[in-house]
Structure 1
Amino acid sequence: MKIGIAGTGAVGGYIGGILALANHEVVFLSRGTNLLRMQERGLKIKNPVNEEIIYKAFTHSLDTFSDVDLIILSVKSNDTLIMAKQLSHNISSSTPVLLMQNGVSNEDIALKYFDPTRLYTAAVYLTSRMTEPGIIEVSGKPRLTIGSLNSGNIEEAKSLTHLFNEAGIQSKTSSNIMQAKWKKLLWNVTFNPLSAYAGVTVGQIINQQELREIAERALVEGMQIASHKGFYFQDELINQIFVGARKADNHYTSMLQDRLNGKQLEIESICGYFLKEATKRGISIPVIQSLYNHLATLKKEAFR
């Protein structure tokens, strides 16, 4: 299968790399120093046991995506609109597109540019980090939950799940994928904004009482918004998220990685999304609001 990776960061690079190692033809879309380094020396994926170097097609041109069998869209949420527009002009309308991104707002954007019957999304649980251009470090066991945005496409979603399982990435199919995506979003709003603002890992948030209390309050606020959107979670989810996060003690969240690398933060797709939904309903979510304000200040300072 020929697969196009639209966004070769810590997620897209790892997923594409594993698919390449499983003998699929993979084309990686990237730019800047990351692209140059991969063109020079390949894409290196390191785990605690070994490392692999992938020598494939690394490009900045979407022309090479015209005949792919599957697109994996893994750019940052800030770039979804532009990338979706560009892809829609470069691929067949029948080409399946699988989103691997944070948040739950990217799906609404993608639906404007791709055939809903060919659009899929995934909740991605992956502790990966691009430590330098062209080098990705990963720990733990990556997991994917995959589903179709068209309820009638469950068999096609199962085929995608099979593709990743065959490649060695633990995957399952969901008939209610947006419920799964909301659960991941709640994980994100618990850890991502606070880790980026405080400059700490997931484990440091869990272990420091003050930080943990802030994270728990952000999670509760997020669950409140989720329920208003029709996605209901039991209070036991709070404990589940913190217990599960122990597996990622040393993990630099994607937002913290972006801050350290001087990249734009996904403020709007995480904090901003909750604030918009809260405003519509006249609900106060002070912790998420405070985190948003602090991160917005950091953003302004970074780009002065």
Structure 2
Amino acid sequence: MKVAVVGVGAVGGYFGGLLAKGGADVTFIARGKCLEALRTRGLTVRSAKGDFSVRVRATDDPTEIGTVDLLLFCVKSYDTESAIRQALPMVGQHTVILSLQNGIDNEEKIASLVGKEKVLAGVAYIGASVLEPGAVLHQEGGKIMFGEVAGDASERVIRLKAFFDRYDLPAEGSPDMKKILWTKLAWNAPFNAINTLVGGPVKTIIENPHTFELARRVTEEVVTVAHASGVPLAFELVWERNIRFSQSYDVKTSMLQDLEAGKPLECEALNGVIIKKAVECGLKAPYNFALYALLSGLRIAS
């Protein structure tokens, strides 16, 4: 299987690195200092599961690669449309595009340009950061959940699961990706946003009674909007999962990392989308709106 990785940050670097380490036919689409580092030094992953370095193929010109079988799409949500347009030379009749991005509407944006039959939804459960161009620090987790956007099992999901297994990339197919995407958003919306505003590792949000209560109320809003959007989530189960995951999560969120690096923030894909969906359903989401407003100010300041 011929693979291309678009977006060589922490997610693309780690999972693409696992494939390259295993000997898969994978090429990284990068630019600037990241491209230079990949070409000269290769890709380095410092991981709790074992460090490794691997020489990789990298380019900034998708036309050099031609069509691929699998495109791991790992760019920030605000770059979705522009990145998929640039990747079009790699998209053939049978190409599968697996989105590993934050948010619930990236797959729809990609499908509008390439067709929904080419898109799979995915969620990456990982705590990682970019140490420097071409180097990733992996601290927590490291698993992909993926499946058809419309749900149900499919032969291509089964084949892709077997491919990931072959290269020791932890992944699991799911017939209910809408629920999985919304469940992750129910964590991202409160914890990415609050962590970006208060700093420190994620676990401090749980330790402080005021931020703990704010996170609970934001989560409750997400669950309410999800239910109104046709994706029923059980608040008690979602909140219990959020607490269990966050109370020992001694890592900064990706949004805080972006703020510290002076990059744009994904507040539109995490809190903004909840506000938009709430309006569509005749609801209000005041806690998400407050976080979105504050994050918008931080984004401008950065």
TM range (shorter): over 0.9
Range with bigger deviation, 9-18 or 280-289? 280-289
Q: CA deviation at 1:20?
A: 0.7
Q: Does 1:216 align with 2:212?
A: no
Runs of 4+ more than 3 Å apart: 150-153
**Secondary structure in 2 aligned to 1:104?**
coil
CA distance in 1, matches of 2:241, 2:95: 37
Secondary structure of 1:95's aligned partner: strand
SS in 2 for 1:75: coil
Query: Aligned-pair distance for 1:59?
Result: 1.5
Whether the aligned pair in 2 keeps the contact of 1:93 and 1:114 (CA below 8 Å) is: no
**Superposed displacement of residue 153, structure 1:** 6.0
Native 8 Å contact 2:42 2:134 kept in 1 = yes
1:286 is matched with 286
Please give the per-residue CA displacement for 1:196-231, whole angstroms capped at 9, x wherever unaligned: 122222111111222111111111111111111111
Q: Distance in 2 between matches of 1:258 and 1:123?
A: 19
Taking the aligned partners of 2:148 and 2:7, their CA distance within structure 1 comes to 21
- 1:279 is displaced (CA, Å) by 2.0
Q: Which moved more, 1:71-80 or 1:82-91?
A: 82-91
Secondary structure of 2:112 counterpart: coil
Tell me if the contact between 2:10 and 2:130 (Cα under 8 Å) persists in the aligned partners.
Answer: yes
Structure 1 partner of 2:183: 183
Letter in 2 for 1:235: F
Is it true that 1:240 corresponds to 2:241 in the alignment? yes
Query: CA shift at 1:140, angstroms?
Result: 3.1
Q: Distance in 2 between matches of 1:96 and 1:124?
A: 17
Structure 1: runs of 5+ lacking an equivalent: none
Q: Would you say 1:170 and 2:170 are equivalent positions?
A: yes
Stretch deviating more after TM superposition (83-92 or 236-245): 83-92
Is 1:91 aligned to 2:91, yes or no?
yes
Aligned residues: 301
Cα distance, 1:276–1:68 mapped onto 2, change above 3 Å: same
Matched letter for residue 141 of structure 2 = K
Q: Would the aligned equivalents of 2:111 and 2:118 in 1 still touch at CA under 8 Å?
A: no
Partner of 1:225: 225
Structure-2 separation of matches of 1:220 and 1:108: 25
Greater Cα offset, 25-34 or 74-83: 25-34
What displacement does 1:88 show?
A: 2.5
In 2, Cα distance between the equivalents of 1:64 and 1:73? 18
Q: Give the match for residue 82 of structure 2.
A: 82
Instruction: Give the fraction of aligned pairs with identical amino acids, expressed as a percent.
Output: 28
Take 2:287 and 2:150, find their aligned partners in 1: how far apart are those partners? Answer: 35
Per-residue CA distance 1:100-136 (angstroms, 9 max, x = gap): 1010110110111223222111121011111222111
- The amino acid that maps onto 2:241 is Q
Query: Equivalents in 2 of 1:51, 1:123: separation in Å?
Result: 23
Partner secondary structure for residue 213 of structure 2: helix
1:117·1:150 contact (CA, 8 Å) conserved in 2?
no
Q: Deviations over 1:235-277 (max 9, x none)?
A: 2221122112335x21111111111111111111111101111
2:32 matched to 1:32? yes
- Secondary structure at 1:113's aligned position in 2? helix
Secondary structure of the residue aligned to 2:247 is helix
Deviation at 1:50, TM superposition (A): 3.3
Alpha carbons of structure 1 residues 134 and 66: separation in structure 2 relative to 1, 3 Å: same
SS in 1 for 2:94: coil
Structure 1 residue 152 displacement after superposition? 6.7
Aligned-partner Cα distance in 1 for 2:265–2:91: 28
Query: What CA deviation, in whole Å up to 9, does each residue of 1:273-304 have, x standing for no partner?
Result: 011112223322121111111111111111xx
Q: Give the structure 2 partner of residue 48 of structure 1.
A: 48
**Cα offset, 1:151, TM superposition:** 4.8
Aligned partners of 1:235, 1:281: CA distance in 2, in Å?
Answer: 18
Alignment of 1:1-304 (within 5 A): 1-48=1-48, 50-151=50-151, 154-236=154-236, 237-247=238-248, 249-302=249-302
On the 8 A contact 1:218/1:288 being kept in 2, the answer is yes
CA–CA separation in structure 1 for the residues paired with 2:282 and 2:67: 48
TM-score normalised by the chain length of structure 1 = 0.94
State the alpha-carbon separation in 2 of the partners of residues 49 and 143 from structure 1.
12
CA distance in 1, matches of 2:244, 2:150: 33
1:52-91 Cα offsets, whole Å, 9 max, x none, are 1121112111113313221111110010011122223442
> What is the Cα deviation at residue 49 of structure 1?
5.3
AA aligned opposite 1:101 = Q
Q: Give the Cα separation in 1 of the matches to 2:120 and 2:83.
A: 16
